[in-house]
């Protein structure tokens, strides 16, 4: 399998070096190329890529001024020489056998299955994470942090799933083109989940691989993580409007998260009935849940920071869904 690796960049001078170095170290027995799609970086991202491209002819730089993620992904597909396209992001680094595992996984499930569109894996914290990144990784590697999403939690075994993340995936190019590629009207939001929906509606399949992962440079501060969760929550409502027939109910539950706390507090103020404060048991529950998963992952000292990460994730995502109601109402 010859593979075109597509990486989208925008002002990634802090990350693109380690990303490219890891891609160049691939222990892969077949041809592959690396296509960097830059959306109009104002820093030294393109200069770094150009230096690599001069030494390695299979590295291509394609620039699109003010290009969105979806536009750049599609431009990468159009410029791809090979039939199989792999995606990772500029703030990721990949292990030396990353491409091999993806290709072998695709071959395994493609045998006798012409409806296989792609395979993918998880993203985990970077090799040397700061404390908050480590806390996010512990939270994500749990049921309440991932809700079963392969993007957040490595699976124990391979299985057919709804969608795969563009941080770590391999697709058959002709199938992506047959469903219209990535939806460019989404801009920078929710393109991998939307692709999963488009593939499902066209009766294609994707599989999650338990042994595939990339190191993802998670948001390093509570503020940036909050903004990221709000963005994801907002995107969930946007995708709900686009694909109301296949959105699972559990993804809409955060919409009622913050109103429930506000309503219970108002009821307590007017009735003085302590039962109205039952939703606030969430806080001690999350604390004990964080302690439990931190101990299980041999990171007991991280318990309080993991609790903090959960609070930001849950309330940020819930706030984002409330903000995203505009996609439903307009």
Residues 100-138 pLDDT 10s = 999 999 999 999 899 999 999 999 999 899 999 999 999
The angle, 0 to 180 degrees and rounded to 10, between the axes of the packed helices 303-323 and 222-242 is 40
pTM of the model: 0.93
Per-residue pLDDT of the chain (330 residues; tens, 9 = 90+): 999 999 999 999 999 999 999 999 999 999 999 999 999 999 999 999 999 999 999 999 999 999 999 999 999 999 999 999 999 999 999 999 999 999 999 999 999 899 999 999 999 999 899 999 999 999 999 989 987 777 777 888 999 999 999 999 999 999 999 999 999 999 999 999 999 999 999 999 999 999 999 999 999 999 999 999 999 999 999 999 999 998 888 888 899 999 999 999 999 999 999 999 999 999 999 999 999 999 999 999 999 999 999 999 999 999 999 999 999 887
- Which of 315, 238, 242, 228 shows the shortest CA–CA distance to 279? 315
- Which of 136, 167, 129 shows the shortest CA–CA distance to 151? 167
**CB-based contact 198:186 (threshold 8 Å):** no
**CB-based contact 321:254 (threshold 8 Å):** yes
What phi and psi, each to the nearest 5 degrees, are found at residue 210?
A: -70, -25
β-strand pairing of 3-9 with 32-38: parallel
How many angstroms separate the CA atoms of 19 and 126, rounded? 11
How many angstroms separate the CA atoms of 120 and 250, rounded? 23
The pLDDT assigned to 191 comes to: 96
Q: Which fold has domain 3-142+149-220?
A: Spore Coat Polysaccharide Biosynthesis Protein SpsA; Chain A (3.90.550)
The pLDDT assigned to 104 comes to: 97
Percent of the chain beyond pLDDT 90? 92
The angle, 0 to 180 degrees and rounded to 10, between the axes of the packed helices 191-201 and 69-79 is 60
With the C-alpha atoms ordered 213, 214, 218, 220, is the resulting torsion angle positive or negative? positive
Burial of 291 (0-12, 13-18, 19+ CB in 10 A): middle
| Residue ranges per structural domain of the chain | 3-142+149-220, 242-329
pLDDT digits (tens, 9 = 90+) for 73-109: 999 999 999 999 999 999 999 999 999 999 999 999 9
């Amino acid at each position: 399998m010859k593979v075109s690796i597509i990486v989208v960049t925008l002002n990634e001078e802090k990350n693109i070096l380690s990303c490219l170095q890891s891609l160049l170290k691939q222990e892969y027995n077949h041809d592959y190329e690396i296509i960097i799609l830059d959306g109009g970086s104002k820093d030294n991202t393109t200069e770094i890529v150009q230096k690599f491209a001069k030494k390695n002819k299979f590295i291509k730089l394609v620039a699109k001024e003010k290009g969105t993620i979806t536009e750049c992904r599609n431009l990468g597909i159009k410029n791809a020489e090979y039939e199989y396209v792999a995606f990772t992001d500029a703030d990721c680094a990949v292990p030396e056998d990353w491409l091999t595992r993806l290709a072998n996984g695709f071959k395994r499930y493609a045998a006798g299955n012409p409806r296989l569109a792609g395979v993918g894996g998880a993203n985990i914290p970077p090799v040397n994470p700061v404390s908050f990144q480590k806390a996010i990784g512990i939270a994500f590697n749990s049921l309440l942090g991932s809700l079963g999403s392969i993007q957040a939690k490595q699976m124990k075994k391979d299985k057919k799933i709804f969608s795969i993340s563009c941080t770590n995936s391999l697709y058959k190019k002709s199938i992506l083109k047959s469903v219209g590629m990535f939806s460019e009207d989404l801009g920078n939001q929710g393109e991998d989940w939307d692709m999963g929906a488009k593939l499902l509606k066209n009766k294609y399949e994707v599989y999650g691989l338990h042994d595939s992962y990339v190191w993802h440079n998670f948001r390093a501060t509570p503020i940036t993580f909050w903004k990221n969760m709000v963005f994801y929550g907002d995107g969930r409502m946007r995708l709900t409007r686009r694909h109301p027939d296949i959105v699972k109910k559990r993804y809409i539950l955060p919409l009622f998260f913050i109103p429930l706390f506000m309503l219970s507090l108002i009821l307590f103020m007017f009735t003085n009935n302590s039962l109205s404060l039952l939703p606030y048991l969430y806080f001690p529950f999350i604390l004990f849940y964080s302690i439990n998963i931190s101990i299980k992952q041999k990171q007991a000292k991280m318990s309080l920071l993991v609790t903090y990460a959960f609070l930001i994730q849950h309330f940020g995502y819930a706030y984002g869904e409330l903000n995203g109601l505009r996609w439903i109402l307009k």
